[in-house]
Amino acid sequence: MDEYTPKKRLALALRGESVDRMPAISVTQTGTVEQMEACGAFWPEANEDAEKMATLAEAGHTVVGFEAVRVPFDITAEAEFFGCEIKAGTKEQQPSVVGHVIKSIEDIEKLKDYDLSEGRIGVVCDAIRILAGKYGDELPIMGSMLGPFSLAQHMNGDDWFMAIMTDEKFAFALMELTTEFNIAYAKKMVDNGADTMVIIDPTASAMLIGDEFYQKFVVPAHKRIVDTMHELNVATVLHICGDTTPSLALMESSDVDAISVDQNVDVATALSKVDSAVIIGNLDPVSVLWKKTPEQIREVSKDLLAAGAGLLGPGCGIVSKTPNANLQAMIEMAKGHTY
Amino acid sequence: MEENEIINGLTEAVVNGKKDQAAELSQKSLDEGVDPYIAVINGLAKGMEIMSEKYENKQAFMPHLLMASNAMYAGMDVLIPHIKTEGSGARKVLVIGAVEGDVHDIGKNLVKTMMSAVGFEAIDLGKDVPVEQFVEAAAQNKADVMSISTLMTSTMDNMQRVMDGLNSKGIRNNMKVIVGGAPITADFATEIGADATKTDAMEAARWAKEAVESLSPGRWD
């Protein structure tokens, strides 16, 4: 008798509570070409059409075997929503942000009125509703969004890195805009059926900006998002790229439930740096998950599980060319692991 | 002002990220007859090197680095036109860009900054650079070093295509090629036939400076 649904199992595991075995999920993007070919929903259309987005997300479960469904597949919808120019994606590649919209505090004012039903923000919420309608009782419905610091960088460009040092008033005003947006967007995803929220904030890496700026600008923003999610009984995961080892305690201070670490982080060391946050990771998405054999992936997974990974997963977004068999090797290792 | 004072002032202006100060002192160094090459290398570039080391040691971060870089370029804009470009003073040429499909250029810009700091003339092709453009720019500018970057796994194949392009034009061995970016490993660099990959901008610049020494002077003739 299996008393845990995948939904319940993940909800417990993310909060560090006891559970029969490890859930097999990916907190980072799941779309791959093999899945697209199997389900008929391809990038870039699956980034723009709610039905197709839901179909490709569903393939992560039905075709590959992940015990969750997750949308979206890229991290540009937020910047696009605010008018940043986007370089379109392809079947194998996610879209990218190429233009920026904010130069001054006046520009921030102009962007304060928005309608969350518009653009791909609305599409993601619609896809969540479709998935929740179909799988909501059984599977975790994971929503993901670009975090407030990285969104600010998308909107302001590389000047953002200097603004946090030279123009605090502007920097706090822009963080207020992005954080308010993140809170509203996350709530809307939850309204539509999301039960787990992933915040992806790559630019906020303390490796790039240092602890002082991280504490000043990033922690309070993340905390507000996390607090809002906790009020709604939604577990939160924070993913930041790079070697975040020295900053894990600071990342945890936002009260986030779990931290997804990239392949540059040693999992055992990471565990020693956090109090109660679950550490998720961290198979190298390129040199291991994409390029190695299922057998080798099982070996690397074994080491990560032995090191104490709370959830086994990729260290960053899954590469679109990754074979199903490789993902399935990782899934099999997660499913076989008891805590 | 003494020459030493000016040179130290230039270093300090870069370390403190003072753009205007760097430009003013650069002008002053020209007015006082300081060799502009010395002012760049012992003054501005040294400041950038100090900041790069601080970055490696986690005493400085991206904000400080970008401020320093802006200051260095402000000074170089004043000084470089006065550096003689013939003979032993000739600057080595770097062709640099983020590969086709990739629009991320923070890392690329840092590499460019450090390469400039160690004396390269940087031909910056920008981001999302078509494969052919790398090859053409290398031939046209008689490149000594080519630096190709990407942050996205989906565009790594395009690095191979640049290497193929250099090979089929017969100019691959006229230059040293370094590839970089988060997903790039040493194995990958070897696999596609690049000469190196380094984990940070300063290391890349140090490597490049040394690597060009083995290139034969007449190879582009």
- What domains, with CATH codes, occur in chain B? 3-82 (1.10.1240.10), 91-214 (3.40.50.280)
Q: Which residue of A has its CA nearest to B156?
A: A286
Contact B61 A208 (CB under 8 A): yes
Identify the residue among B105, B153, B192 best suited for mutation to test binding to A, counting A beta carbons within 10 A and taking the highest. B153
Give chain A positions within 8 Å (CB) of B187: 287
> What is the pLDDT confidence band of residue B13, given thresholds at 50, 70 and 90?
very high
Beta bridge partners of A69: A141
| Best CA proximity match to A123, nearest among A141, A105, A143 | A143
- SS percent in chain A: helix, strand, coil, step 5: 55, 10, 35
Mean per-residue pLDDT for B88-99?
86
Contact B66 A246 (CB under 8 A): no
CA-angle at A278, arms to A272 and A283, nearest 5°:
90
pLDDT at B65 over 50: yes
Q: In angstroms, what separates the C-alpha of B127 from chain A's closest C-alpha? A: 10
Strands (E) across A74-223 are located at 86-87, 96-97, 141-146, 196-200
Out of A94, A161, A321, the one facing B66 most closely (by C-beta) is: A161
pLDDT at residue B85, rounded to an integer:
64
Question: Burial letters for A17-30: b for 16+ Cβ neighbours within 10 Å, e otherwise?
Answer: eebeebbbbbbbbb
Mean per-residue pLDDT for A57-85?
98
pLDDT in tens, A97-119: 999 999 999 999 999 999 999 99
Contact B63 A158 (CB under 8 A): no
| Best CA proximity match to A220, nearest among A186, A253, A177 | A253
Contact B109 A158 (CB under 8 A): yes
pLDDT at B63 over 50: yes
As a whole-number percent, the residues of chain B with pLDDT over 70 amount to: 98
pLDDT at residue B89, rounded to an integer:
57
Give chain B positions within 8 Å (CB) of A92: 154
CA-angle at B157, arms to A95 and A317, nearest 5°:
45
Q: Is A107 on the interface with B (CB under 8 A)?
A: no
Contact A320 B104 (CB under 8 A): no
Give chain A positions within 8 Å (CB) of B102: 96
Q: Which CATH fold would you assign to the domain A24-258? A: TIM Barrel (3.20.20)
> For all residues of chain B together, what is the average pLDDT?
92
Out of B154, B183, B185, the one facing A93 most closely (by C-beta) is: B154
Q: Is B102 on the interface with A (CB under 8 A)?
A: yes
Range from A82-96, A181-195, B83-97, B122-136 carrying the lowest mean pLDDT: B83-97
Q: Is B126 on the interface with A (CB under 8 A)?
A: no
Q: Could you say which residues from 22 to 51 on chain B have a Cβ atom under 8 Å away from some Cβ of chain A?
A: none
pLDDT in tens, A279-322: 999 999 998 999 999 999 999 999 999 999 999 999 999 999 99
Residues A145, A74: contact at Cβ < 8 Å?
A: no
> What is the pLDDT confidence band of residue B155, given thresholds at 50, 70 and 90?
confident
Q: Which residue of B has its CA nearest to A92?
A: B154
pLDDT at residue A2, rounded to an integer:
58
pLDDT at residue B182, rounded to an integer:
84
pLDDT at B88 over 60: no
pLDDT in tens, B101-136: 888 888 899 999 999 988 899 999 999 999 999 999
pLDDT at A28 over 50: yes
Give chain A positions within 8 Å (CB) of B109: 158
Contact B63 A287 (CB under 8 A): no
Contact B63 A164 (CB under 8 A): yes
Contact B152 A96 (CB under 8 A): yes
Identify the residue among A240, A286, A290, A326 best suited for mutation to test binding to B, counting B beta carbons within 10 A and taking the highest. A286
Give chain A positions within 8 Å (CB) of B61: 208-210, 213
pLDDT at B18 over 60: yes
Q: How far is CA A126 from the centre of its chain?
A: 18
pLDDT at B61 over 70: yes
Length of chain B in terms of residues written = 221
Contacts of B15 by beta carbon, 8 Å cutoff, 6+ apart: B47, B50, B51, B68
3-state secondary structure of A211: helix
Greater model confidence, B90 or A317: A317
Contact A286 B64 (CB under 8 A): no
> What is the pLDDT confidence band of residue A324, given thresholds at 50, 70 and 90?
very high
> What is the pLDDT confidence band of residue B153, given thresholds at 50, 70 and 90?
confident
**What torsion, rounded to 10 degrees, do the Cα atoms A57, A58, A59, A62 define?**
150
Give chain B positions within 8 Å (CB) of A205: none
pLDDT at A1 over 60: no
**ipTM summary value:** 0.85
> What is the pLDDT confidence band of residue A76, given thresholds at 50, 70 and 90?
very high
> What is the pLDDT confidence band of residue A80, given thresholds at 50, 70 and 90?
very high
Contact B101 A93 (CB under 8 A): yes
Contact A92 B154 (CB under 8 A): yes
Contact A319 B153 (CB under 8 A): yes
Range from A202-211, A321-330, B101-110 carrying the lowest mean pLDDT: B101-110
Helices A219-231 and A148-156 pack at an angle, to 10 degrees, of 130
Identify the residue among A93, A100, A216 best suited for mutation to test binding to B, counting B beta carbons within 10 A and taking the highest. A93
pLDDT in tens, B23-60: 999 999 999 999 998 999 899 999 999 999 998 898 99
Out of A210, A246, A320, the one facing B154 most closely (by C-beta) is: A320
The verdict on whether omega for the bond into residue A148 sits within 30 degrees of 0, i.e. cis, is no
**What torsion, rounded to 10 degrees, do the Cα atoms A210, A211, A212, A215 define?**
130
Give chain B positions within 8 Å (CB) of A292: none
Q: In angstroms, what separates the C-alpha of B188 from chain A's closest C-alpha? A: 9
Mean per-residue pLDDT for B75-98?
84
